[in-house]
Amino acid sequence: MGSTASKELPLVANVTVSKVETKRDWRVFINLPWLLYKNDPNWVPPLKSDMWNTVNPKKNPLMKLGPYQYFIAWSHGKPVGRIGTGIDEKLNQEKNKKEGYITLFESIEDYQVAASLFDAVTEWQKERGIHSITGPQSPSNGDDYRGLLVKGFDSMPVLLNSYNPPYYQDFFDRYGFTKDFDRYAFYYDLSKPVTERFEQSIELLKQRYRFTIRRLNLKKLDEELVGIHRLLVRSWPEDWPDMVPPGMSEIKDEVNQLLPIADQDLLVVAVDEAGHIVGLAVALPDYNQILKRLNGRLFPLGFIKFLWYKKKVTGARTLILMVDPDYHKKGVSAAMYLELFKAGLKKGYKYGEGSTIHEFNTKMVNDALRAGGDLYKIYRIYRLDF
């Protein structure tokens, strides 16, 4: 991976940065958060097997889209920080820009460590003709670890969302990163009942605009994915700077990752009279409640714990909500929200999270607020020009 330059890159006193090249390097990279967060009650250990898949070029869609390099910072022989960087050539081509990304940043509370990692990244990008970076971005081009947490440090993150100490924001600001945009997470208290009037208004809108809500049919998944791909291409906002509509192969990669943890009751589509999909809502049980107990390992005992606690999960995260432009302001998103609320209540869920929504996606932000959402966490995407 990366260039063939010297592996050791001395940068500042007592801190060196090395490229991740061997399996041992990857093990250090993956295990580092266990050292940094061991006393943080809100940190949720990821499954180590998932992290190995995340950094596997054969299983990671983003690694197929351009060059990448990962780094570890060391001090006195101990790992003290990490970062990944790369270039999404598909995104650059479709958005007509030339920039890189950073991902999976972690550091002890020492600015020299962070600066050393940022220096290594900028040098690597400059060698490839890149002079700006954004991030933290998802390491898999999905919805995991996207954005730096800048509000909402007092509770655990829900499934696939980022978590980091407050001092990371100071490191980014001090180095010269500036805010690109924020992504919002909304909290829903499911103990607050949906009003009968709200349900009646949804029924009237469904009749007026001739759409219905149903579960995704997993037995005919290939057919469903064709309709979902068409919906994504039609509804993907052009002003999203960090994402472009996924191709069918990327959709299948993402679906293959999500299906093992999906709950069909929380996979909802809106369809028109002809049966075409005009809306999609995907929620997942908040398995972070279980991951917190597994300490990164599913086997041998973790799987038993997973099966035991799976029935005790008390919340979910809505991570995808898309509506065809022809059906905006016709109650489609509200109808899908309502369907997810009902499904969650049947399962005994106490909360839901809708995330993450770009701050400039005012339609979706307003829909989230109207549905009773409380803006309780903010994830920031930074950019740096050099």
Same domain, residue pair 26 and 167: yes
DSSP per residue over 161-190, as a string?
-----THHHHHHHHHT-EEEEEEEEEEEET
The DSSP element (H or E) to which 267 belongs, if any, is strand 267-272
Pair 344, 190: CB distance under 8 Å? yes
Same domain, residue pair 307 and 290: yes
Q: How many Å apart are CA 154 and CA 149, to the nearest integer?
A: 11
Same domain, residue pair 212 and 162: no
> How much is the pLDDT for 60?
85
Name the one residue in this structure whose structure tokens are 């197929």. 64
Name the one residue in this structure whose structure tokens are 């398995």. 287
Same domain, residue pair 239 and 271: yes
In a domain, 385, yes or no: no
Least trusted range by pLDDT, from 36-50, 158-172, 239-253, 359-373: 239-253
In a domain, 106, yes or no: yes
Phi, psi of 149 (to 5 degrees): -65, 120
Q: Domain limits at 115?
A: 8-183
Mean pLDDT, range 221-247, rounded to an integer: 80
> How much is the pLDDT for 11?
47
**Tally of structural domains, the chain:** 2
The model's pLDDT over 283-329, given as tens digits with 9 standing for 90+, comes to 999 999 999 988 888 766 666 666 667 778 999 999 888 899 999 98
**Domain with 270 in it: what CATH number?**
3.40.630.30
Same domain, residue pair 122 and 32: yes
pTM for the full predicted model: 0.87
Name the one residue in this structure whose structure tokens are 């007592």. 14
Same domain, residue pair 108 and 199: no
Higher pLDDT, 195 or 351: 351
Pair 81, 73: CB distance under 8 Å? yes
Phi, psi of 89 (to 5 degrees): -70, -30
Same domain, residue pair 201 and 328: yes
In a domain, 18, yes or no: yes
The model's pLDDT over 43-79, given as tens digits with 9 standing for 90+, comes to 999 999 989 999 999 888 888 889 999 999 999 999 9
In a domain, 265, yes or no: yes
DSSP per residue over 63-127, as a string?
GGSS-EEEEEEEETTEEEEEEEEE--HHHHHHHT---EEEEEEEE-S-HHHHHHHHHHHHHHHHH
Same domain, residue pair 195 and 341: yes
Same domain, residue pair 197 and 214: yes
Same domain, residue pair 129 and 195: no
In a domain, 213, yes or no: yes
> How much is the pLDDT for 7?
45
In a domain, 76, yes or no: yes
Same domain, residue pair 273 and 310: yes
Q: How many CA atoms lie within 13 A of 191 on its CB side?
A: 2
